[in-house]
Structure 1
Amino acid sequence: MIAIDLCTFDTKTDVKSPAAYAAVVVDCVEASWNNGADLVLLPEFAWVGLVPLVEPRTLQRAAEVFWNEVLPALKSLLTRPGKAVVLGTVPFWDAERQELRNRAPILLEDRVLHQDKLHLTPWESDFSPGTELHLWEFAGLRFAVVICLDIEIPEISTRLRGSAVDVLLVPSATETVLGVERVGRCASARAVELGCAVGVCHLTGKTEVELIDVNVGRTAVYWPSQMSFRDAPRWQESSLIEEGIHKQRLMIDRKHLQVMRRMPLETNPSLLKNMPAFELVRDDPGQESGLGFRLM
């Protein structure tokens, strides 16, 4: 059994320095670990709250401070056997390509991993998209971090088919209930399609940073709709949250996933193999059937 804490996070903290901001994050993570969590997930753009604390107040400068000054301290403070944390996302300056990335740092015991956001919203014009989706192992489970808009892209689910991914972690930042709904409804679909658990958390609060000036969200858990999960809630969503740090505990028993994958006679899209290829065909305008699909 593995325990995961999904945490909302409010960047409007009463601190005066990057080190003090980092201390707020460390306190949040350690409180979850000390309360039995094995892994903690923080939301997208959790570290953009550094922008008002650095000079000049730019994403690139916040990136430099985080990766050069804050992360080494975090690694020292948050290295603990059997524990992991996805630290939300942070701007990352790729000096070789001269590009800014929206990157999720992952502290996995004594290792540092990362995941870049692959699909960007129109207001992330300062960023460039990532090119790789990473799978990683922790506590006997296979994880992927799928950042906000990425969970809404069905092609990512297609690429993950057959990967035996057990858990998708979705750090998000949305400014309206419509964005919250898009992330949640698509996260639920990914749980069904891939036969995995999906955990979501959102940024909250109002800030002086234009990129994340208003944020609302929730924490949510989604499971496959399969027989081995029949006796427990298959989706759990908190109420809409506008500010503050709130946590939801996700408990994963790998046995339920293993049992599900041993039931090939159950209708389960995640177990389908040899998917037929098809092309989109437009029928003649005079025919009533409109658009159809032809198997190839």
Structure 2
Amino acid sequence: MHASPEMAAIKKRIAYFVRSVASYQADFVIFPEFFVAPLMAPYFHLTAAQAARALASHADEILDWFRELSQKHRINIITGSMPVLEQGALLNRGYLCHRNGSVEYYEKIHVTPDEAATWGMVGGETFRVFETDCGRIGVLICYDVEFPELGRILASEGMQILFVPFLTDVASGYRRVRYCAQARAIENECYVVISGCVGLAEEVHNLETHFAASAVFTPCDFAFPANGIMTEATPNIEMHLIADVDFMLLRDLHASGSVRNLKDRRTKLYDVLDKRMGKAP
């Protein structure tokens, strides 16, 4: 994350990463959660909640830029996320810009206590599997990956890659996201890609510091890396990662893996337990 508060500089940075990743013939590029936060710097004189709403006023311009780049470079873009205003409510929303020009969106379902208290942000209700020209993908923003229910719902709808844009300020927060993302890869037998912000933004309310190491995770079985890590970035260094995933390996895992988490679920028993929990005081 660079501290420039200028839209032109942000657009230039976005274009660089899209162009660079596309040059490797990649099918997807993912940006982090709130990576456009430096645009909040001119609003430092406002409260954090007011600054977040001011940032939301730039959402349409940023989305238009992503849409243009996705078509120009023939790459599907997961735009990370940014605040948007929807009927007066402040949401954390991101977009999937397909290289054919179409656009879909996803929202952060669970906002953190800090996001609610500091920005007045509320949780969204929109998450689903997206059909792309390369396969079925899902997107969970940061904290959402810490809720296994969401990943399991997406897996039940055929998700092959889960993308997780995130923003964490300290190592403990990062490791919560990372370890939960790795768990989602194992239990849902899919690939998981995490992308986070690094660097400083001293003049941005509530987003001054960042800790991250982006990575691509796999299930843990014989056809995959033993540690479930396909590739990962150097912590707190701005860089991009390139990974080539194989959906045939997932199909083989579903059918004949050492363990078969998706097949071996005891769903009838879970239904009984859910009802029991629902009756608990």
The CA deviation string for residues 227-275 of structure 1, in whole angstroms up to 9 with x for no partner, is 4326x7621433321x5x21111211111112222227x4221222442
Q: 1:203 aligns with which of 179, 197, 206?
A: 197
* Matched residue type, 2:102: R
1:226 to 1:45, Cα distance in 2 relative to 1, 3 A: same
The structure with the largest helix share of the pair is 2
1:175 to 1:55, Cα distance in 2 relative to 1, 3 A: closer
- The 2-side partners of 1:158 and 1:116 are apart by 17
The CA deviation string for residues 142-199 of structure 1, in whole angstroms up to 9 with x for no partner, is 1001111111112213323422210000111111111111111111110011000001
1:213 to 1:54, Cα distance in 2 relative to 1, 3 A: closer
Partner of residue 85, structure 2: 93
Q: Is the 8 A contact 1:19 1:70 kept in 2?
A: no
* Matched residue type, 2:109: L
- The 2-side partners of 1:203 and 1:55 are apart by 20
Paired residue secondary structure (1:104): strand
The structure with the largest strand share of the pair is 1
* Matched residue type, 2:84: F
- The 2-side partners of 1:138 and 1:82 are apart by 13
Q: 2:140 aligns with which of 129, 143, 146?
A: 146
* Matched residue type, 1:101: L
**TM-score for the superposition, normalised by structure 1:** 0.81
Q: Is the 8 A contact 1:41 1:87 kept in 2?
A: yes
Q: 1:119 aligns with which of 103, 106, 110?
A: 110
* Matched residue type, 1:60: R
Q: Share of identical aligned residues, percent?
A: 24
Partner of residue 27, structure 1: 16
- The 1-side partners of 2:2 and 2:128 are apart by 27
1:256 aligns with 2:249: yes
Partner of residue 290, structure 1: none
Partner of residue 217, structure 2: 222
- The 1-side partners of 2:74 and 2:227 are apart by 27
**TM-score for the superposition, normalised by structure 2:** 0.85
Partner of residue 246, structure 1: 239
Paired residue secondary structure (2:105): strand
Structure with higher Rg: it is: 1
Partner of residue 128, structure 1: 122
Partner of residue 278, structure 2: none
- The 2-side partners of 1:161 and 1:66 are apart by 30
Where in structure 2 are there 5+ consecutive unaligned residues? 275-281
Partner of residue 279, structure 2: none
How large is the RMSD of aligned CA atoms in angstroms?
2.3
Q: Is the 8 A contact 2:138 2:154 kept in 1?
A: no
Q: Is the 8 A contact 1:41 1:86 kept in 2?
A: yes
